[in-house]
């Protein structure tokens, strides 16, 4: 950029808008005082308190469990859905299927939560299952709304893949199931990982749907944060938030370094190929 | 036409021998996608060891036909027999056919060796044998040193050879090639044409090549099927297709050609006399299919078969001879192209080799010239 | 051994045939059971009556058995009073209008901040674009709740903004922005900004820079070129981004609940209160159906625009 013009200022303002709140959050997690807005000295005591907050730790454990299971289920279901939508051509009910896959993306969370709760209540009434609400119902609910995101990610990867790769494998004698496991799956692996992480994050982030479908004794981490934030701010939440930001930032940082390295390697290889060609 | 057939003709070609059974038989095959008819009642017989080209523009149905042979598409109607076996319902992985894809479709997560070995692995071939055959195949395509590379570490030409090796390693009786040279640059394409023909002759595999490049089809193939809108316009050897086009489409699709509309005056044996106002003279054509007097026909004459001269020709019967004015000259080095306008307004294209080296052209813009050609230069095309 | 293998192989190929069926059936059935059926249940319960029971709604279908005649008949009771209540009570109408207004303001604010950002990134050096976009998306990966929470400390009385204004000397006492519509606008703009920047960036980045060069060559000044070339060509991105912000913003619950005041009524909040505080499930269901009806039009536009984009991309 030649001069620091309007665009640069706009960009700067945008990034400040995005990052200053997070930065303040982190800074005040090390504040001595309970008042999180007035600096009164450096302290890590809120982190220590966090470690002794059993309710919060239990909720965190539960949330990670739900997120891991529902993300895995989402990837399985989303892969099937993505394959069905990109590779199977027309089949009966495809339009309804496509609609049901994308609808949860735009469905307000309150409706998703309410409708699933009503389903679980009705099922319990008619079938006697699920017996009350808890981890199982939260996991099912999270799987349902995260699988749509996963399906979209995998679908776009499959659609972007050269379809003749699978045809070539079949032409060379591989049966469809084998083609899927030996060719398709390795090639869409990055999308599977991305989809899993997305589903995991969405599940770990959800408070509305979980509030509807959880039962006594199954409080997730966002639900704990939500109720404590409603009563006002607490430095412990700042400390927790800082840890979460740290984890995400580290993850993204590592991922981008790995990706950048792969990109450089690919460029080098191509250069070499041109010279040898 | 630059392409000269590079295969030596044998005494009796299989398609001329009634005793031969075709290796691939396509019988009245139709393929529709919704309302669109991609292939329309096509019948073809292709024989063992042929190098057969399906030539046509985009949307002519050539690729669909190829994909039906490979088993990726099922014919809507009609039958395909390979080696006498009806292919209906047989999936691609059970057909005795391999295909080389236009995009090469090399598996990006496998090395060159793994790519080539893939097909043999599917058949459960013993490990030692796989190794030997892969080594042999890579040797044949001159890629022995590149076995451990990944596809993205190869140049375009190398990738093309890996794709060829991969599709040949299973020793298929029939190899389908979809625009095999399409992604290569001009120089490399010419060299690879010869390589492909050599490999085909050495291994004795039947090749069916889909291409849109007429020169490529002319140079490599034993026979060509020209396709247009899902229909086969003509099947024949490169010479037949070029010298004896059956219809206007083939005549105009292959090379360039001059067309004169006219009416048949008389037929004597296989000599046809045509009166054409457009040409400004009577046209005598030898070796033509007889046509009734008075019927409308087109006479097609290749530009290189017309001679140009500045001096008016003395004598002659006035047939196959007309005059015009040179409007454009394109100097291409080896030949020059002249566009000559006849008094009727018709523009005739003439190519003449530049036999002598001189900076000053003997014929130049706005010269009045005489055009002449021999009776066997023209082809009569009925409407 | 060979026979075992061949039996296995032929078995597998048979699996291959119905394997496709299974691959479709699993997600299909899951969605039918956990998406379609719940939706129909919500629709059904919106026509029932609230009663004090477990579960707290009346059954729509009843078998009435007439002991004397020895017959029985199926009776379906559809109670549309819930919908009349929505139409008749100012609270609900106000909540709907408020939701639309807040979502619209949020969308405009996202556009105002997001467009220059997307434009600047699209104009940046190609090697820098990836990291710059990454920085926009990065906050999306951190918890939504945490990001809303961050604003509480900034917006409240005695918060960061309040203290800053006091320190500069503009105000003399604490300023409370929290618990107002403005707090909700800011919070929602903050959360939904990436959804606006992403589609804008992808349309602006794809634009051929030679178009602007051609305009300049033909005598158009940069700002004029922006108005007559860039802006119209980025319209699909503007529409897609606006809908991506607007649609979820209408049904938003967490932000108005945490940052809004008691009178910042939004439809998601009303639904939540009907359900959790009043335990009136039928009315909550009717609110949900009405919310969906509000969203149908923008969702249809969105699908239409996406469809056209997909076609153009081909």
- DSSP letter for each residue of C151-165: HHHHHSTTSHHHHHH
Per-residue model confidence (pLDDT) at position B6: 58
Residues B88, B181 within the same domain: yes
Contact list in C for residue A111 (CB cut-off 8 A) is: 42, 251, 271, 288, 291-292
ipTM of the complex: 0.88
Which residue from A14, A60, B298 is spatially nearest to C193, judged by alpha carbons?
A14
| Secondary structure string (H, E, C) spanning B36-64 | EEEEEEEEEEECCCCEEEEEECCCCCHHH
Nearest CA in chain B to A164: B105
Residues B36, B176 within the same domain: yes
pLDDT of A1 strictly over 50: no
The answer for residues whose C-beta is within 8 angstroms of residue A181's C-beta and 6 or more apart is none
CATH classification of the domain holding C152: 1.10.3720.10
Distance CA C169, CA C163 (A): 10
Series of mean pLDDT values for 10-residue runs along chain B (383 residues): 52 75 94 92 93 93 95 94 92 93 93 95 94 94 93 92 94 93 86 89 92 91 94 94 91 90 88 89 85 88 91 76 91 90 92 79 86 90 78
Per-residue model confidence (pLDDT) at position C313: 52
Per-residue model confidence (pLDDT) at position B315: 65
Which residue from B361, B368, B350, B369 is spatially nearest to B309, judged by alpha carbons?
B369
Per-residue model confidence (pLDDT) at position A2: 47
Is the backbone of residue C52 left (phi > 0), alpha (psi -120 to 50) or beta?
A: beta
Per-residue model confidence (pLDDT) at position B205: 92
pLDDT of A137 strictly over 90: yes
Residues B263, B243 within the same domain: no
Q: How many domains, chain C?
A: 1
Residues of chain C with pLDDT under 50: 1-2, 5-13, 314
Q: How many domains, chain B?
A: 2
The answer for residues whose C-beta is within 8 angstroms of residue A14's C-beta and 6 or more apart is C113, C114, C116, C117, C136, C193
Contact list in C for residue A125 (CB cut-off 8 A) is: 55
- Token pair in block for residue C287: 């609110």
Q: Is residue B131 part of a domain?
A: no
Per-residue model confidence (pLDDT) at position C301: 83
Per-residue model confidence (pLDDT) at position C311: 64
Residues B192, B237 within the same domain: yes
Residue in the block written with tokens 């509000």: C294
Most A CBs within 10 A among C150, C160, C287, hence the mutation to make, goes to C150
Residue B245: C-alpha distances to residues B217, B235, B370, C44, C213 (Å):
15, 10, 26, 72, 50
Residue in the block written with tokens 């058995």: C65
- By Cβ distance, the residue of A171, A186, A269 closest to B92 is A171
C contact residues 187-206, partner A, Cβ 8 Å cutoff: 190, 193
C contact residues 224-263, partner A, Cβ 8 Å cutoff: 247-248, 250-254, 257-258
Residues B221, B280 within the same domain: no
pLDDT of A75 strictly over 80: yes
DSSP B329: E
CATH classification of the domain holding B242: 3.40.50.300
Contact list in A for residue C258 (CB cut-off 8 A) is: 226, 229-230
Predicted confidence (pLDDT) per residue in B156-194, tens digit: 999 999 999 999 999 999 999 999 998 888 888 888 898
Q: Is the dihedral of CA A193, A194, A195, A201 positive or negative?
A: positive
Nearest CA in chain C to A97: C28
Beta-bridge mates of residue B267: B272
Per-residue model confidence (pLDDT) at position C78: 76
Q: Is residue C40 part of a domain?
A: no
pLDDT band for position A262 (50/70/90)? Answer: confident
Give the three-class secondary structure for B6.
coil
Per-residue model confidence (pLDDT) at position A114: 94
Residues B304, B236 within the same domain: no
Predicted confidence (pLDDT) per residue in A36-52, tens digit: 667 788 888 889 888 88
Distance CA C134, CA C194 (A): 10
Per-residue model confidence (pLDDT) at position B334: 86
Q: Is residue C121 part of a domain?
A: yes
Residues B240, B263 within the same domain: no
Nearest CA in chain A to B118: A172
Which residue from C111, C299, C107, C129 is spatially nearest to C200, judged by alpha carbons?
C111
Contact list in A for residue C275 (CB cut-off 8 A) is: 114, 212
Contact list in A for residue C13 (CB cut-off 8 A) is: 175
Most A CBs within 10 A among B153, B157, B187, hence the mutation to make, goes to B153
Q: Is residue B61 part of a domain?
A: yes
Residues B195, B281 within the same domain: no
Residues B285, B209 within the same domain: no
Query: What is the extent of the structural domain holding C257?
Result: 83-313
Chains that touch C (3 or more CB pairs under 8 A): A
Nearest CA in chain C to A241: C146
Chains that touch A (3 or more CB pairs under 8 A): B, C
Residues B228, B282 within the same domain: no
Average pLDDT of chain A to the nearest whole number: 88
Q: Is residue B238 part of a domain?
A: yes
Q: Is residue B204 part of a domain?
A: yes
Predicted confidence (pLDDT) per residue in A8-45, tens digit: 899 999 999 999 999 988 888 888 887 766 778 888 88
Taken as a whole, chain A contains a residue count of: 277
Last residue of a domain, one of B209, B232, B251: B251
Residues B246, B260 within the same domain: no
- Token pair in block for residue C117: 């950002």
Q: Is residue B245 part of a domain?
A: yes
Last residue of a domain, one of B217, B251, B285: B251
C23 interfacial to chain A (CB closer than 8 Å): yes
Give domain limits for chain A: 55-232
Residues B271, B330 within the same domain: yes
Which CATH number applies to A55-232?
1.10.3720.10
Chain A residues touching chain B at CB-CB below 8 Å: 162, 164-165, 167-175, 178, 183, 186-187, 266, 269-270, 272-274, 276-277
Contact A187 B122 (CB under 8 A): no
Q: Is residue B167 part of a domain?
A: no
Query: What is the extent of the structural domain holding B284?
Result: 256-382
Q: Is residue B132 part of a domain?
A: no
| More confident call, C81 vs A224 | A224
Q: Is residue C72 part of a domain?
A: no
Last residue of a domain, one of B227, B251, B275: B251
Chains that touch B (3 or more CB pairs under 8 A): A
CATH classification of the domain holding B348: 2.40.50.140
- By Cβ distance, the residue of A164, A172, A270 closest to B122 is A172
- Convert A77-112 to b/e letters by CB count within 10 Å (16 or more is b): bbbbbbbbbbbeeeeeeeeebeebbbbbbbbbbbbb
């Amino acid at each position: 950029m030649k001069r620091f013009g309007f665009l640069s200022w706009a960009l700067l303002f945008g990034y400040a808008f995005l990052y200053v709140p997070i930065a303040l959050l982190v800074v005040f997690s090390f504040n001595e005082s309970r008042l999180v807005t007035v600096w009164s000295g450096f302290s890590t005591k809120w982190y220590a308190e966090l470690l002794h907050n059993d309710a919060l730790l239990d909720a965190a454990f539960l949330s990670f469990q739900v997120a891991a299971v529902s993300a895995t289920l989402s990837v399985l279901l989303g892969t099937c859905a993505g394959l069905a939508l990109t590779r199977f051509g027309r089949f009966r009910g495809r339009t309804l299927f496509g609609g049901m896959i994308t609808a949860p993306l735009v469905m307000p969370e309150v409706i998703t939560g309410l409708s699933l709760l009503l389903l679980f209540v009705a099922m319990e009434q008619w079938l006697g299952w699920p017996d009350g609400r808890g981890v199982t119902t939260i996991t099912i609910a999270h799987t349902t709304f995260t699988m749509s995101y996963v399906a979209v990610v995998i679908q776009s990867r499959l659609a972007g893949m050269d379809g003749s790769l699978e045809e070539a494998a079949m032409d060379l004698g591989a049966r469809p199931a084998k083609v899927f496991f030996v060719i398709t799956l390795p090639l869409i692996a990055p999308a599977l990982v991305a989809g899993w992480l997305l589903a995991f994050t969405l599940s770990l982030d959800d408070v509305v749907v979980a509030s509807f479908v959880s039962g006594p004794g199954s409080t997730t981490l966002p639900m704990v944060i939500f109720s404590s934030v409603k009563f006002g701010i607490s430095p412990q939440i700042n400390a927790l938030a800082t840890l979460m930001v740290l984890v995400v930032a580290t993850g993204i940082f590592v991922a981008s370094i790995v990706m950048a390295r792969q990109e450089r390697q690919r460029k080098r290889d191509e250069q070499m190929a041109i010279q040898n060609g | 036409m630059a392409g000269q057939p590079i295969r030596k003709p044998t005494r009796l070609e299989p398609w001329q021998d009634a005793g031969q059974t075709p290796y691939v038989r396509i019988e009245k095959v139709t393929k529709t996608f919704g309302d669109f008819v991609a292939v329309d009642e096509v019948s073809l017989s292709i024989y063992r060891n042929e190098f057969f080209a399906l030539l046509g523009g985009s949307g002519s149905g050539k690729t669909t036909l190829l994909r039906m042979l490979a088993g990726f598409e099922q014919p809507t109607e009609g039958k395909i027999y390979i080696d006498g076996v009806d292919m209906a319902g047989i999936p691609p992985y059970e057909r005795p056919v391999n295909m080389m894809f236009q995009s090469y479709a090399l598996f990006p997560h496998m090395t060159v060796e793994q790519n080539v070995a893939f097909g043999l692995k599917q058949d459960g071939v013993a490990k030692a044998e796989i190794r030997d055959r892969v080594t042999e195949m890579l040797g044949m395509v001159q890629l022995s040193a590149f076995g451990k590379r990944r596809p993205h570490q190869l140049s375009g030409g190398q990738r093309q050879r890996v794709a060829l090796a991969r599709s040949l390693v299973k020793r298929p009786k029939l190899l389908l090639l979809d625009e095999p040279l399409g992604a290569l640059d001009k120089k490399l394409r010419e060299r690879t044409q010869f390589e492909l023909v050599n490999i085909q002759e050495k291994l004795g595999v039947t090749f069916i090549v889909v291409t849109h490049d007429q020169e490529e089809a002319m140079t490599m193939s034993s026979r060509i099927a020209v396709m247009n809108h899902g229909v086969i316009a003509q099947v024949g050897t490169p010479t037949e297709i070029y010298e004896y086009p059956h219809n206007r489409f083939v005549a105009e699709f292959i090379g360039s050609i001059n067309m004169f509309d006219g009416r048949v005056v008389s037929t004597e044996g296989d000599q046809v006399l045509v009166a054409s106002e457009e040409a400004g003279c009577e046209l005598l054509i030898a070796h033509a299919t007889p046509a009734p007097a008075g019927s409308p026909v087109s006479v097609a004459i290749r530009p290189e078969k017309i001679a140009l001269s500045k001096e008016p020709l003395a004598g002659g019967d006035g047939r196959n001879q007309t005059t015009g004015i040179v409007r454009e000259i394109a100097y291409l080095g080896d030949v020059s192209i002249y566009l000559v306008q006849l008094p009727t307004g018709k523009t005739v294209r003439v190519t003449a080799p530049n036999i002598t080296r001189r900076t000053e052209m003997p014929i130049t813009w706005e010269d009045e010239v005489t055009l002449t050609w021999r009776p066997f230069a023209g082809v009569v095309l009925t409407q | 051994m060979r026979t075992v293998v061949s039996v296995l192989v032929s078995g597998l190929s048979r699996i291959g045939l119905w394997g496709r069926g299974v691959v479709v059936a699993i997600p299909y059935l899951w969605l039918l059971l956990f998406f379609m059926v719940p939706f129909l249940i919500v629709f059904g319960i919106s026509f029932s009556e609230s009663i004090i029971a477990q579960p707290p709604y009346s059954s729509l279908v009843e078998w009435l058995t007439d002991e004397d005649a020895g017959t029985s008949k199926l009776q379906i009771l559809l109670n549309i009073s819930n919908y009349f209540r929505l139409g008749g009570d100012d609270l609900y109408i106000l909540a709907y209008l408020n939701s639309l207004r807040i979502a619209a303001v949020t969308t405009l604010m996202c556009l105002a901040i997001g467009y220059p950002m997307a434009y600047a990134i699209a104009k940046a050096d190609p090697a820098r674009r990836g990291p710059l976009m990454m920085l926009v998306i990065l906050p999306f990966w951190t918890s939504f709740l945490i990001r809303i929470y961050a604003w509480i400390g900034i917006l409240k009385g005695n918060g960061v903004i309040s203290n800053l204004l006091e320190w500069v000397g503009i105000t003399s006492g604490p300023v409370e922005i929290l618990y107002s519509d403005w707090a909700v606008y800011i919070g929602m703009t903050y959360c939904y900004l990436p959804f606006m920047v992403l589609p804008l960036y992808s349309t602006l980045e794809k634009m051929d820079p030679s178009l602007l060069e051609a305009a300049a060559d033909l005598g158009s000044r940069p700002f004029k070129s922006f108005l007559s070339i860039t802006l119209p060509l980025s319209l699909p991105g503007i529409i897609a981004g606006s809908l991506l912000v607007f649609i979820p913003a209408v049904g938003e619950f967490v932000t108005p609940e945490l940052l809004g005041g008691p009178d910042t009524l939004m439809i998601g909040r009303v639904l939540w209160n009907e359900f959790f505080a009043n335990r009136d499930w039928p009315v909550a269901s009717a609110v949900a159906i009405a919310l969906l009806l509000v969203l149908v039009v923008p969702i249809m536009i969105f699908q239409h625009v996406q469809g056209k984009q997909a076609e153009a991309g081909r």
